[in-house]
Structure 1
Amino acid sequence: MNLINRDRASLWHPYAPASPTLPLWEVEEASGVTLRLKDDDGARHEVVDAMSSWWSAIHGYRHPTLDDAARRQLSRFSHVMFGGLTHEPAVELAERLLAMAPADPSHAPLGRVFLADSGSVSVEVALKLAVQYQSAVGRPRRQRILSIRGGYHGDTTGAMSVCDPLDGMHATFAGLLSHNVFAPRPPGAATATPEGIGAWRDAVDGLARIHSDELAAIIVEPVLQGAGGMFVYPSECVRALREIADRHGLLLILDEIATGFGRTGELFAANHAGIVPDILCVGKALTGGYLTLAAMLCNDEIARTVSAGGAGALLHGPTFMANPLACAIANASLGLIGDGGWRHDVRRIGAGLANGLARAAAYDGVADVRTIGAVGVVELERAVDVPALTRAAIRRGVWIRPFRNLVYTMPPYICTDADVATIAEGMLGAIAEMHAEVRA
């Protein structure tokens, strides 16, 4: 039995049925931006990874700097508990993150870091922190969260409760989840007008005012909603949320798990709006895709208040919190980001995607084409046949993972212009092939 069939007999993959016919490709090797795959029939394919392994492998695969960091840390120790102990990789990582974090003299800086296992866990920690903070300042009824329609924040229970309740993936669990408050989705960046932004701001402010005695925080993905639809919206809306949170005594949580570390063209998407959140969640690209790690950052006033509250602590503690191996690799990854070369790369990739995907706007069945930073999206009018479109892209030398009605790319920052052109042509060719089959 080959490896793919052994997998089908025993494993369960994300967002997929446990099926003996599940479409799979075996990865035999990964290097730079290239994946070497083998299919069911044993045929081999070399493809450009247009997904950065779900947006995390921003430096590509087998990067010598990250490999060296892993080897050095393995020679010392790979893990120790973080309760009562500390270590250099964690301290250095916290210092690096705080130095990189969004800053604005008019707002309290982020000054404290909680290291978590994954992006979803960092969101859980952020939500719990917001509720603990409100209780510590004498507002224990403030237990709900104001979220934005179209958002996605993870698959754990608290995170699911602030994802879009109707159009998201979690309607099945409605009886399990907390009932939070949802504001309308912001207007799209391409069509937004000052009047439209103002009307949206007033609607959100009205919800916050009505529910202010029960709301602890606002949570949002700034500028780009990821798994909720790759939806781009104006930075003015993020500034409006900062003002609304301040007006009503709410904390502002920015979920930058997908947008952080340069993906949208700024180091953090908050920088497009020139604001500082009270709580910031980061993950995915934090370790360059090598190991799972995330972080929740908050300002010192929140940390002091919760620490002096009734519980006397932030009530969360993952077993693998601040894993030294992951922290060491994250420090190396942030060192690569710190040299600033990513700005040129993201601009270059963004320009290549905008130029390369533009033709899709004329295709039958294409509803929209949009880019931001190193993100390119082709939105179709109907749901994608994921296995068929994936196969069509592989035949053209590209690995993509569409979802719903979206064919998109978030490529590694080390992609060359030729790699970007291959990605764009592969996406366009796969879309055209699928639509040609539909028309026939």
Structure 2
Amino acid sequence: MSQSNIFFDRKHIWHPYSSMVKPLPCYIIKSAKGVYLKLKHGSSIIDGMSSWWSTIHGYNHPILNNALKNQIKKMSHIMFGGITHPSAISLCRKLISLTPKKLDCVFLSDSGSVAIEVAIKMLIQYWRSLGQKRKLFLTIRDGYHGDTFAAMSISDPKNSIHRIYHNFLPKNLFAKSPISAFNKTWNSNDLISFKYLIEKNSSKIAGVILEPIVQGVGGMNFYHPNYLKKIKILCDYYHIPIVFDEIATGFGRTGKLFAFEHANVIPDILCLGKAITGGTITLAATLTSRKIANIISESKIGCFMHGPTYMANPLACAVANANIKMIQTNKWKIQVSNIEKQLCDSLLPLISHPRVIDARVLGAIGVIECSKLINIAMIQKFFVKKGVWIRPFKKLIYIVPPYIINSNQLKMLTDAISVALNNSAFFI
């Protein structure tokens, strides 16, 4: 890419969570294969982010590529209104077979944030069909569910990246996030805030929405499975549907196929995305129970009022089918277990570092929480020089590597983090 194109990118193209006046530096990627991103000058860096949790089998995987090639020979896209196709039918069969029996109705969309919007609209329409105008949602602080408006309204309004929109968004209910960590002692006091809010507002709440076990952008917290179990009991008692946002954690990332399996509970609605296509093309799914689907469908309106243009895109469905077929071989279980062990050995000892508040690992997720904000531009430049791609945010350095990463490649990631902690210039 010429220097003029680099200048054009910097001047005219808006990148995620960045500024047009003082944008973060962008690194030009010519190609990608396996765990490597190839830079414009020919050197390669190891991807520690799986392109934001999605590319679990690595880049340019021949099975996934072939699925796309075979599908595009037939058709790349058709509308889903009044038309169906084999790739969508096959995908929905697979999703229903992978998830709890209760979840047997599938709505396909084109991004994780939209899958959340769909879930919210489903529950508003569900209660309207029952003759109740419920519109409040209950969740916990430090959560993140996407960047569209309804999704922002259930993300933490004060601590999240969306706080500037707080006064414009619908007002929802936020319980204190649990303090009991995943692998630590359970403290029942964690439930006090949630229990109070659900008891006080039980006749107004349309649904409870949670990221099960792992809170993502809100702070990369791993909370105790007992919390999820107790929340589900409360929801059942008050007959309030519960939505699990597994967009980041679904398909093996936490060591279970879905994070809610750690607590052995089942949601009423399940949202999936990111890794559903192995990181090749955008797709998401919202799965719901037959009960909710029927109540919506038997109302005066008679249908669910949502329909994205690229809903059930044949290319995305075809590659998702191939991806899930790979997942069903269960090779990921060994891969994620090996990653978890090595991350524990490499990252957990860093908790003694003077710049580290906490170090935590769950499945193929490793997190270092620092005591100060991180200078993203400077630390990323350092990481690239070290041959790795890691994208920190706020005070967190975290990695979610592709499952296919080997021990030497993973060591390069964790070594780079360890060395970076020693440089005061990377912290504000």
Question: TM-score of the superposition, structure 2-length normalised?
Answer: 0.97
Structure 1 residues 53-68: aligned runs within 5 Å: 53-68=51-66
Using the TM superposition, name which of 307-316 and 153-162 deviates more: 307-316
Residue identity in the other structure for 2:173: V
Residue correspondences, number: 426
Q: Deviations over 1:187-228 (max 9, x none)?
A: 24168534x2x2222331221010111101000000000111
Q: Aligned to 1:75, what secondary structure does the other structure show?
A: helix
Determine whether 1:24 maps to 2:22. Answer: no
2:76 to 41, 58, 78: 78
Shift of 1:136: 1.3
Shift of 1:233: 0.4
Q: Aligned to 2:43, what secondary structure does the other structure show?
A: strand
Match of 2:8?
6
Determine whether 1:376 maps to 2:372. Answer: no
Match of 1:240?
230
Residue identity in the other structure for 2:90: E
Distance in 1, matches of 2:167 and 2:185, equals 38
2:154 to 157, 162, 184: 162
Q: Deviations over 1:400-438 (max 9, x none)?
A: 1000100000000000111111111112122223x3776
Q: Deviations over 1:96-116 (max 9, x none)?
A: 01110135xxxxx10100001
1:178 to 170, 195, 204: 170
Report if aligned partners of 1:151, 1:221 keep a CA contact under 8 Å in 2.
yes
Q: Aligned to 1:90, what secondary structure does the other structure show?
A: helix
Structure 1 residues 91-240: aligned runs within 5 Å: 91-102=89-100, 109-140=102-133, 142-189=134-181, 192-194=184-186, 196=187, 198-240=188-230
Distance change >3 Å, CA 337–CA 191, structure 1 → 2? closer
Report if aligned partners of 1:50, 1:398 keep a CA contact under 8 Å in 2.
yes
Structure 1 residues 327-346: aligned runs within 5 Å: 327-346=317-336
Report if aligned partners of 2:355, 2:421 keep a CA contact under 8 Å in 1.
no
Runs of 4+ deviating beyond 6 Å: 436-439
Report if aligned partners of 1:48, 1:399 keep a CA contact under 8 Å in 2.
yes
Report if aligned partners of 2:136, 2:171 keep a CA contact under 8 Å in 1.
yes
Match of 1:393?
383
Distance in 2, matches of 1:387 and 1:45, equals 19
Report if aligned partners of 1:133, 1:306 keep a CA contact under 8 Å in 2.
yes
Residue identity in the other structure for 1:131: I
Unpaired segments ≥5 residues, structure 2: none
Shift of 1:360: 1.9
Using the TM superposition, name which of 404-413 and 183-192 deviates more: 183-192
Match of 1:250?
240
Distance in 1, matches of 2:68 and 2:271, equals 24
Match of 1:320?
310
Match of 2:88?
90
Report if aligned partners of 2:379, 2:426 keep a CA contact under 8 Å in 1.
no
Residue identity in the other structure for 1:84: G
Distance in 2, matches of 1:438 and 1:385, equals 6
Residue identity in the other structure for 1:283: G
Distance in 1, matches of 2:338 and 2:328, equals 18
2:284 to 294, 310, 317: 294
Report if aligned partners of 2:212, 2:244 keep a CA contact under 8 Å in 1.
yes
Residue identity in the other structure for 1:115: L
Distance in 1, matches of 2:79 and 2:327, equals 28
Report if aligned partners of 1:381, 1:405 keep a CA contact under 8 Å in 2.
yes
Q: Deviations over 1:338-370 (max 9, x none)?
A: 100100000001111111113422222110000
Distance in 2, matches of 1:127 and 1:29, equals 38
Unpaired segments ≥5 residues, structure 1: 104-108
Distance in 2, matches of 1:52 and 1:178, equals 33
Residue identity in the other structure for 1:136: S
Shift of 1:133: 0.9
Q: Aligned to 2:59, what secondary structure does the other structure show?
A: coil
Using the TM superposition, name which of 47-56 and 308-317 deviates more: 308-317
Report if aligned partners of 1:357, 1:369 keep a CA contact under 8 Å in 2.
yes
Distance change >3 Å, CA 137–CA 169, structure 1 → 2? same
Structure 1 residues 344-383: aligned runs within 5 Å: 344-383=334-373
Match of 1:425?
415
Distance in 2, matches of 1:21 and 1:251, equals 42
Residue identity in the other structure for 1:217: G
Distance change >3 Å, CA 50–CA 96, structure 1 → 2? same
Match of 2:43?
45
Distance in 1, matches of 2:45 and 2:426, equals 23
Match of 1:36?
38
Identity of aligned residues (%): 41
Report if aligned partners of 2:374, 2:427 keep a CA contact under 8 Å in 1.
no
Residue identity in the other structure for 2:230: A
Report if aligned partners of 1:112, 1:297 keep a CA contact under 8 Å in 2.
yes
Using the TM superposition, name which of 403-412 and 198-207 deviates more: 198-207
Determine whether 1:403 maps to 2:405. Answer: no
Distance change >3 Å, CA 116–CA 186, structure 1 → 2? same
Match of 1:106?
none
Q: Aligned to 1:202, what secondary structure does the other structure show?
A: helix
Report if aligned partners of 2:420, 2:426 keep a CA contact under 8 Å in 1.
no
Shift of 1:249: 1.6
